[in-house]
Structure 1
Amino acid sequence: MSEDDEIRQEKLEELGELVSNESGLFINDDEKILLRFLYFSNFDVERAFEKMKSWYKLKLNNPDWFASQVFTERQQLAMSRDVHCLLKDKDHLGRRIYILKLGNVVVGECEPWENFQVDDLWLELAMDEEETQKNGLVYIFDMKGLSLKYLRYFTPFNCKVASTKAENIPIRKMEYHVVNSGFLLNSMVTIVFPFLSGSTKQNIHFHKTNWPSLHKFISPDVLPMEYGGKLPPLDYKKLRTYISDRQARLEDIVKYGYRD
């Protein structure tokens, strides 16, 4: 075992011991869960533990906003609208690329927290990957076709919980790209930005339909043609096999957290 492997194992054991002594917190000694928080904190065990407690307390206090079951009827309804997907290929920095086509949301059909539960199905699996833990995650928010009715979801409570959850995801490096934006963008920015930290704001980039601008951050080699990329259009049914093939793992992950 190399020196790096010994240090890694030592940190895993230290964090595992803290978790085992934390009343009510259950992660089943899951090494992948421990690693995601260790990578987030650059293997600072105390900081990793604080982040873990913060994340799972947020889940405890806002259960509707987190998936606790997998492929429920409501989740499948939200998925059927082709809003969420994780691209098959990583970018040149080894980052996973998560796309949200917000214009495909049928306003009034699903609540915001139900779409956040669908996010969990994708992102929990992405965070399981050590390459993602090391390199981070990229979001693309596609606002094409976004209806004015969408603003009904932007209540102070929804914005607060949604932004808190987004900013507490245990991924060290996060980057956000907004494309196909129209007249609603200014309204949404005005509502949402006060809830975001300064570091998050610095990592948000607006491109409209300027694909060369997007490609400065994400290579067209890994993007579908609708974003000026070299790959075929998004095939949501095919992409969803990423989560359907890993259902058993998801069913374990969504049970983790604090128990009353």
Structure 2
Amino acid sequence: MAEYLEFEWRTNVISNNIVKGVHPLCNEPKGRTAAIAALKNLIHSCNDYELRTNLPQDDKTLQKFLYARKLNVTESFELLKNYYFYRKRNPDIFKNLTLEAEDIYKALENGLPGVLSQKDRKGRCVLMLTATNWDFSYPLSSIYRALLYSLDHLTNDIHNQNNGFVVIVDWTEFPFRRTTNLKPSVLRLMIEGLQDCFPARFKGIHFIEQPWYVEAALAIIKPTLNDKIKERIYVHGNNLSTLHELVHKDILPAEMGGEQPSYNPRSFLNTLEAKQ
């Protein structure tokens, strides 16, 4: 562990503040309406014809980008542009980004990602990625596609837009020989998309039970992370008590030392299918 800590991932809690509920902006429809109108105006007045004609302009989509940047219209516009060009550069990632895509369905069937039924004490949606559920019949890029599909669904909820997401990655018993499946090019693609392009706010990313060889593989991506994301990454190893200080065990499944029953990998997929 000491070898990995030189990369300065966060390993403990520095704040015990607990915030419940929804940001006041969520209760100000006039403010949201004005921000959406201002963002549409930026799109309409853009000098780039491609952006002006191709950027989404429906209220539902624009609100996602606005909340991802705390209703800062200029920053939301930049994020929207980033997302457009990211999709354009990576058509294979976004091709058939639906539940009908075989690889997305298989990843979700394996709980990659899973989503806890309860929010944490700060009202944040908690996503889980359990590495041992990955049967390697599909690549890492398919897990990323499933994650993007899931986030697109989850960000339809204004509470998730505002309160953000927590991600827990459980590396228990991840075999050494499978580290070759953690392709650096795909990891960098994921980081670029999730931190710079996709309209979601990640408030905490937690690694548990990670072996040294996973730590070494993940260290490769550190230079691509911005400072805000670096500050929100925690590595807990087998010390689940530090995880529980940030994500209380009353919502966590038993396999994470929580008080809830073991997580059913299909549960989030069942939710998605029921809503179709």
1:15 aligns with 2:15: no
Within a 5 Å distance, the mapping from 1:111-260 to structure 2 comes to: 111-168=139-196, 169-247=198-276
Residue type at the aligned position of 1:51 = L
Counterpart-to-counterpart distance in 2, 1:115 and 1:189: 16
Q: Name the CA distance, whole Å, in 2 between partners of 1:96 and 1:32.
A: 19
Q: State the distance in 2 between where 1:220 and 1:19 align.
A: 44
Quick check: 1:59 aligned with 2:87? yes
TM-score (structure 2 length as normaliser): 0.80
Distance 1:17 1:46 in 2: 11
C-alpha spacing 1:67/1:143, structure 2 compared with 1 (3 Å): farther
For 1:155 and 1:141, the matched residues in 2 are separated by 17
Q: Structure 1 residue 152: deviation in Å? A: 2.0
Shift of residue 245 of structure 1? 2.6
Match in the other structure for 1:251: none
Q: Percent identity?
A: 23
Deviation at 1:185, TM superposition (A): 3.0
TM-superposed CA distance for 1:154, in Å, is: 4.0
SS of residue matched to 2:188: helix
Give 3-state SS (helix, strand or coil) of 1:35's partner: helix
CA distance in 1, matches of 2:104, 2:242: 34
After alignment, is 138-147 or 155-164 more displaced?
155-164
* Alpha carbons of structure 1 residues 88 and 48: separation in structure 2 relative to 1, 3 Å: same
1:209 to 1:202, Cα distance in 2 relative to 1, 3 A: same
Mapped to 2, the partners of 1:147 and 1:165 lie a distance apart of 27
Residue type of the alignment partner of 2:204: E
> Any conservation in 2 of the 1:92–1:219 contact (CA below 8 Å)?
yes
Structure 1: stretches of 5+ with no match in the other structure: 248-260
**Per-residue deviation at 1:66?**
3.0
The farther-off stretch of 192-201 and 53-62 is 192-201
Aligned length: 243
Q: Is the 8 A contact 1:104 1:145 kept in 2?
A: no
Show CA shifts across 1:91-145 (max 9, x none): 01010000011232223x2122211111122111111111111111000011112
The farther-off stretch of 92-101 and 67-76 is 67-76
Deviation digits for residues 74-106 of structure 1 (CA, Å, limit 9, x no counterpart): 222333333321111100101000001123222
- 2:7 maps to none
Number of the residue aligned with 1:252: none
CA distance in 2 between counterparts of 1:156 and 1:237 reads 28
8 A Cα contact 2:179 2:214, kept in partner: no
What RMSD, in angstroms, separates the aligned Cα atoms of the two structures?
2.1
Partner-residue secondary structure (3-state), 1:236: coil
Q: Distance between the aligned counterparts of 1:83 and 1:151, measured in 2?
A: 17
Structure 2: segments with no counterpart, 5+ residues = 1-26, 46-50
Deviates more, 1:47-56 or 1:75-84: 75-84
Report deviation, 1:198: 2.2
